[in-house]
Structure 1
Amino acid sequence: MRAGAFGTAVRQALACAALALALAGCGGGPRVGVLEPVAALVPGASPETIFVATTRQRRDATPAEMFGGARAPSLDYAHLVVSVPPNHKPGELEWPASAKGDPNVSFATLERNFVNDAGFMAGVRKAVQARPPGQRTILVFIHGYNTTFDEAVYRLAQIVHDSGFKGVPVLFTWPSKGALLDYPYDRESAVYSRDDLEATLRQLARQSGATQVDLLAHSMGNMLTMETMRQAAIRGDGRFGGKLGQVMLAAPDIDIDVFRKQLSVIAPLKLPITVFVSRDDKALKVSQFVWGGQRAGAFVVSDPEMAERLRASNITVYDLSDIKTSDDLNHGKFASSPQVVQLIGRRLASDNGIATRGPGLGEGVMMLGTKLGSTIGGAAGTVVGAPASILAGESPTSVLENVAR
């Protein structure tokens, strides 16, 4: 092995070890069997229906699971009804302590079924038509790295419940192995799923009867989302027949130069894009250290004039650095902060996007300009920079120490 390759391998191993230390003792519960259905909805619990399109392989040999981390040759589909417990706290995901779980105190599954392409679309259409005219929208959630199928399902149910979203939730889940040391595999799986996400969005736009299709992506799911939007724009229909609505990018784990290139194609469409960033995101610091590229989800600059220029391009950036949650890595604030997940709900309910910062947004949520390149296509110039606290004085050792704290 060449010295450079060896050094990279060592850095990756050290970073993953530090990340594992950071996650140690963060809670647990089973990762197998939690989607096995319980008998019935308990008093006070709330049911959330989730439609699934996935590039994951079915786990036919393991009945307790539906989909694993292997890559399927083509799209597959499912339909689930999730029970949110009566004691649920906004921003929390009360994970089952045992297989199936106790619906009185944890998330649980009421129904789960594999469906085919026709069954998936029939279910989505029926759910859309059951909503009043003002709520006939779809939210597509694209999860991040190190996420099992079960975790993605329950996370979307939590987001839908806490945000107050009234439309139809669809989970697009790609083949993450759900393991800390499988970052490279997950990254390739995200790229593997681009065409299938685009096909799913086109199908929803054309056949669901929805007035609008919104996107919410997290972490590595942003790479999949941005690449899909980029290739759709290059094909000449980046707005998916005019149905693509809000695009929300939470903690994007994307190299800043790659992000700039993606936006150079996407930004001229002037879609309503919101980026949630945080300077204290430890997971993105590790990603930056491992891959050597600055991550788009960790960089902000407080510049009101730049924020105005971003708004002219329909891009809004929110700095969540001052938000404190139970997430030790500060990587999932979009879902674990009650005020942020409710802010997302307001965006989904608004045709004009989120208003500027005010009492309704809560303290700690700041709208800031983000430097994303000196000029983005033909859109208003939007520039991207990073505070010195991120880039200066952060040796590899200090990054690892910060993550392991």
Structure 2
Amino acid sequence: MRLAFSCAARRGTAEGSPCAVWAFLIAGLCALALSGCGSAGMEIADSAAGPRPVSMFVVSTRKGESGALSEAGNDGEMRDSLQMIGVPPGHQVGQLERPSIGAPDPSRHFALVKRRSLDETAFLTELASHLSGRIGSNRDILLYVHGFNTGYDEARFRLAQIVQDGRFGGVPVLFTWPSTNNLLDYGAAKESATVSRDALAKVIRLLTETPDVGRVHILAHSMGAWLTMEALRQDAIAGSPKLNEKLGDVMLAAPDIDLNVFRQQLARLDPSHVFVLVAANDRALSLSRTLAGDRPRLGALDPKNEADRAALEALGVRVYDLTREADIFIGHGAYADAPDAVRTIGAQITAPRPQDANVQAVLGDRPVDDRIIAAPLAPPAAPAAPTVPAASPSATPATVVGAPTP
């Protein structure tokens, strides 16, 4: 039996006249606009001002880092780099401090400090160097996959913010794919994500097959969650040898995934790896549901609704209900904007996996309330153990790892 943690409020419904429907669609477009900010272009900051840097590896299928090539250019090719992002000294948890116009001020804003392009060989060499000498969870990887309507700058700065706020001590890796800043290009963005699927699957294989890596955690948001589940399913079908051994937590924040599609994707994976952050008041996903012919989105299911709760429990994944933490106007970015939520993500990926230890999760300084019980799928029956001859009285008893000490 798995524990899933919740802090929920009830979901409202949107219905009425054609005018009300148009108002709902306009509100949804505004929600998408605010939940994914366009890139202001690449700016190199002066590191002398003293921001706390976050080093990250970046794998991009964008043809550029700004302009049209960043938004729409996608040939599926991987472009690797090692980047250093400055975090402003006065940074507030849950905030992504950026200038409204002009170049960033490193004393007040997230900013790119350094960037170096890498080929695949150099990428793996640098990764091994970053992992050398690390122990415990500091050997882990956090792979971040952003969602729709997210520029290059926002993606890398968001990962730096999550690393800082979640106190992640491992190695961050960003996978960024072309996402336009035009809200009407939702369908084109889905096609662009599909073109990036092979590249993401390759990144996951490379990371899980790197010898010094501990666990590979994945945090994927919105449409990026669909892309991630497709890549994981692809690797599982291909029989990636280290996938189950190295895969840590797969955290799907506000996943923009049809529920039936998710069931098919999850069938290829161990659901104990997956937890889903939902918000019943996510207006961006409400719009996505409307555009998809009123098909429910996984990230907007309501654990307070009996049918939704039953669907979540049947999946066997862990569910974190962020409805109460979500912004009352949007809710789509609560996983990173709400201080308690981003701290919980950090606590989740730095703690032992549930099968390794009994971990008590907390939101900030207070226990999470209203837990949801989600029973995992039953494991396959274990094969019958071979008959073992009785040990002689003088034999030394075997040590069973994890067994209680007499």
Is the TM-score greater than 0.5?
yes
Is 1:318 equivalent to 2:320 in the alignment? Answer: yes
TM-aligned CA deviation for residue 318 of structure 1: 0.8
2:40 to 32, 45, 66: 32
CA offset digits 1:214-233 (Å, max 9, x no partner): 11100001111111111222
Q: CA deviation at 1:250?
A: 0.6
Specify the alignment match of 1:167 in structure 2.
170
Which residues of structure 2 form unaligned runs of 5+? 1-18, 382-406
Query: What is the match of residue 292 of structure 2?
Result: 291
Q: How does 1:360-399 map to 2 (within 5 A)?
A: 362=366, 366-369=370-373
For 1:352, the equivalent position in structure 2 comes to 353
With over 3 angstroms needed to count, the CA separation of the structure-2 counterparts of 1:189 and 1:359, relative to structure 1, is: closer
Matched letter for residue 348 of structure 1: I
- Which of 174, 188, 191 aligns to 1:188? It is 191
Compare 357-366 and 278-287 and name the one that shifted more: 357-366
Name the TM-score, length of structure 2 as normaliser.
0.77
8 Å contact from structure 1 (residues 52, 170) kept in 2: yes
Counterparts of 1:39 and 1:356, CA distance in 2 = 42
Q: Which residue of 2 aligns with 1:301?
A: 303
Assess, with a 3 A threshold, how the Cα gap between structure 1 residues 138 and 308 changes in structure 2: closer, same or farther.
farther
CA contact (8 A) 1:54 1:76 kept: yes
Structural RMSD (CA): 3.6
Paired residue for 2:256, among 244, 253, 258? 253
Query: Which of 151, 155, 160 is residue 157 of structure 1 equivalent to?
Result: 160
Partner of 1:116: 119
Greater displacement, 339-348 / 129-138: 129-138
CA distance in 2, matches of 1:11, 1:190: 31
Query: Does the CA-based 8 Å contact 2:143-2:218 persist in structure 1?
Result: yes
Q: Give the C-alpha shift of residue 55 in structure 1.
A: 1.4
Give the aligned partner of residue 18 of structure 1: 27
| Identity within the alignment, % | 35
Q: Which residue of 1 is the match for residue 64 of structure 2? A: 58
> For residues 244 and 311 of structure 1, do their structure 2 counterparts lie closer, same or farther at Cα, with a shift above 3 Å needed?
farther
Residue aligned with 1:36, SS: coil
> Measured at CA, do residues 191 and 12 of structure 1 come closer, stay the same or move farther in structure 2, by a change above 3 Å?
farther
The 2-side partners of 1:28 and 1:297 are apart by 16
Q: Distance in 1 between matches of 2:353 and 2:231?
A: 24
Q: 1:286 & 1:238 partners in 2: Cα distance?
A: 39
In structure 2, do the counterparts of structure 1 residues 358 and 200 end up closer, same or farther at CA, with 3 Å as the change threshold? closer
Q: Distance in 1 between matches of 2:35 and 2:212?
A: 41
Compute the displacement of 1:181 (Å): 1.5
Preserved contact between residue 31 and residue 330 of structure 2 (Cα < 8 Å): yes
* Structure 1 residue 335, shift from structure 2 partner: 0.4
In the other structure, the counterpart of 2:134 is 131
Question: 1:42 maps to what in 2?
Answer: 49
Shift of 1:357: 5.9
Change (3 A) 1:103 1:130: farther
SS at match of 1:49: strand
> Whole-Å Cα distance in 2 between the matches of residues 208 and 29 of structure 1?
37
User: Could you say which residue in structure 1 is the equivalent of 2:278?
Assistant: 277
What code does the residue aligned with 1:168 have? Answer: V
* Counterpart-to-counterpart distance in 2, 1:365 and 1:109: 39
Distance 1:303 1:367, change over 3 A: farther
Instruction: Find the aligned partners of 1:70 and 1:210 in 2 and give their Cα distance.
Output: 32
- Using structure 1 for the length normalisation, give the TM-score: 0.78
Structure 2 distance, partners of 1:297, 1:42, is: 40
Taking the aligned partners of 2:313 and 2:171, their CA distance within structure 1 comes to: 28
Contact 2:222 2:256 in 1 (8 A): yes
- Counterpart contact for 2:56–2:172, Cα < 8 Å: yes
Distance 1:135 1:257, change over 3 A: same
8 Å Cα contact 1:46/1:86 also seen in 2: yes
1:32, CA displacement in angstroms? 2.9
Offset of 1:258 from its aligned partner?
0.9
Query: Structure 1: which 5+ runs fail to align?
Result: 1-9, 381-405
Q: Tell me the alpha carbon deviations over residues 262-304 of structure 1, each in whole angstroms, 9 at most, x when there is no partner.
A: 22222xx244211100100000000001112110001133599
Q: CA deviation at 1:123?
A: 1.9
Alignment match, 1:144? 147
Q: Which residue of 2 aligns with 1:386?
A: none
2:266 equivalent to 1:263: yes
SS for the counterpart of 1:201 is helix
Mean Cα deviation higher: 95-104 or 146-155:
95-104
Q: Helix, strand or coil: the match of 1:52?
A: strand
User: What is the CA distance between 1:364 and its match in structure 2?
Assistant: 7.1
What is the letter of the counterpart of residue 281 of structure 1?
Answer: D
One-letter amino acid matched to 1:274: F
Q: Structure 2: which amino acid aligns with 1:201?
A: I
Deviation at 1:242, TM superposition (A): 1.2
Please tell me whether Structure 1 or Structure 2 has the larger radius of gyration of its CA atoms.
Answer: 2
